[in-house]
Amino acid sequence: MIKLLLTLSFLFQSSLVLALSPQFLECQLQKTESESPLAGCPPGTIFISQDPSNKHARFNKIQDAILSLPEEGPAVFLIEAGEYNEILNVTRKGPLTLLGQLPPSAVHALDLPHTAPLTGPNVNLVQVWNNQFVQTGMDDAQSAVLLVAPSFNASLIGAGPTGAPLQPLFGNVDFKAYNIDFQNRAANFSISQALVTDISYANASFYGCSFASFQDTWYTGRNASTYVVDSVLFGQTDYLFGFGTAWFQNVVLANRACGGGIAVWKGTNLTDAPGNRYGVYIADSQIIRSPDANATTVTAGRCFLGRPWNDLATSVYLRTNMDDSIAPAGWTPFDAARPVIMNTTFYAEFDSTGPGGNTSERVAIEHLLTGRQAQDFTINKVFLEHPTWIDYEYRF
């Protein structure tokens, strides 16, 4: 645990730019003992503390607070600093915002220049974790730390190129989390899938968070739309995978080892979903060898940007700096049983930089986008709307 926190501290100090929420910062700051922890918070904010003697806390567990909410209507939680060993399961439709407490020193951060690095005192104070991993007979979803899906069946991932059956429902319309570290601590270099997120049939966005596992860290499921900004994602094998639409902005992808590909996506036939832009889009970001990486596997040219979970997969990297852990070919077939990347798969890069961003030896199937072509990949065009569930005031 200490090692992971030090790793996060290193990444936040060396790799990310300043990022905080002007809307919620006053609420998130830790208060003195004479002040209410809810000072500066939106009316009705629910305070959660692990300390049962805290007179301001309505709940000691985050999941208990979630279960107390009605199906509709917005809710905001302020979570006191600490480590919460829980599985969070959000099935309600109404908007829900989770705020992790920040140290008092963060109050000065918004006065710094826009490009100033986020310094050590601003490392997140809230960790949510479990240690479940996929065992025989389990669906991958059953190992997740955070599930945002309207039902158990909707959360299921399933197997094969088409996955679990399509569900005729939709869940949370606006889930947000700020400055929280989500961790699956069961994971190691040899264990099976151990998810951190499962976001399915829902809209969800994350700000200044981290997500730590090894295999299958992040899942954006069917009919889901996710946006992640100024965050760190740790993984080894297929650690961004999904079926919906996922946009990662100004993130650090930290390779703990090399296995499969970083981004492993499924696509959906346009006959089933006309005009869809389902896929994973990574913009203005960095790919690095994680400070806690397996030194024997994360060597130069070993990690792939992605592989096709099915032949309709879409994965796009925009203006991303890549260290030398990235393989010159960039992309790899799924496995020996599917040894060819089909031309129905859309893999693309634009303006990649760094040692791993040299595209001269990329696989022939990849699209190296021109500046004009890259303009077709924006948040509004990918989500087919201007998403109202994204916090555009968040500064990064």
**Taking the model in full, what pTM does it have?**
0.93
Residue 194 buriedness (CB in 10 A; 0-12 / 13-18 / 19+):
buried
Whole-angstrom distance, CA of residue 207 vs CA of residue 186: 24
Reported confidence tier of residue 161, pLDDT bands at 50, 70, 90: confident
Question: CA–CA distance from 375 to each of 68, 139, 245, 251, 370 (Å)?
Answer: 44, 38, 18, 20, 9
Say how far residue 162 (Cα) sits from the centre of its chain: 22
pLDDT given at position 301: 86
Q: What is the pLDDT of residue 189?
A: 62
In this prediction, residue 14 carries a pLDDT of 43
Which residues partner with 62 through β-bridges?
A: none
At 237, the amino acid letter reads T
Give the residue among 86, 84, 81 at the shortest CA–CA distance from 125. Answer: 81
Phi, psi of 2 (to 5 degrees): -60, -40
pLDDT above 70 (res 190): no
Q: What is the pLDDT of residue 153?
A: 97
Nearest partner of 130 among 194, 62, 75, judged by Cα: 194
**Would you kindly state where each structural domain of the chain is located, as residue ranges?**
2-383
pLDDT 10s digits, 277-310: 999 999 999 999 999 887 777 888 899 999 999 9
pLDDT of residue 51: 95
pLDDT for res 362: 98
**pLDDT tens for each residue of 341-384:** 999 999 999 999 999 999 999 999 999 999 999 999 999 999 99
Residues facing residue 335 across a β-bridge: 338
Q: How confident is the model at residue 245 (pLDDT cuts 50, 70, 90)?
A: very high
Q: Out of 84-93, 258-267, 328-337, give the one with best mean pLDDT.
A: 84-93
- Contact between 296 and 259 under an 8 Å Cβ cutoff? The reply is no
pLDDT at res. 270: 78
- Confidence band for 8, pLDDT divided at 50, 70 and 90: low
| pLDDT for residue 272 | 74
Residue 61's identity, in one-letter code, is K
Which distant-in-sequence residues (6+ apart) come within 8 Å of 22 by Cβ? 110, 393, 394, 395
Contacts of residue 67, Cβ cutoff 8 Å, sequence gap at least 6: none
Please tell me the CATH code under which domain 2-383 is placed. 2.160.20.10
**According to the 3-state scheme, what is the secondary structure of the chain?**
CHHHHHHHHHHHHHCCECCECCCCHHHHECCCCCCCCCCCCCCCCEEECCCCCCCCCCECCHHHHHHCCCCCCCEEEEECCEEEECCEEECCCCCEEEEECECHHHHHHHHCCCCCECCHHHCCCEEEEECCCCCCCCCHHHHCCEEECCCHHHHCCCCCCCCCCCCCCCCCCCEEEECCEEEECCCCCCCCCCCCEEECCCEEEEECCEEECCECCEEECCCCEEEEECCEEEEEECCEEECCEEEEECCEEEEEEEECCCEEECCCCCCCCCCCCCEEEEECCEEEECCCCCCCCCCCCCECCEEECCCCCEEEEECCEECCCECCCCECCCECCECCCCCCCEEEEECCECHHHCCCCCCCCCEECCHHHHCCCCHHHHHCCCCCCCCCCCEC
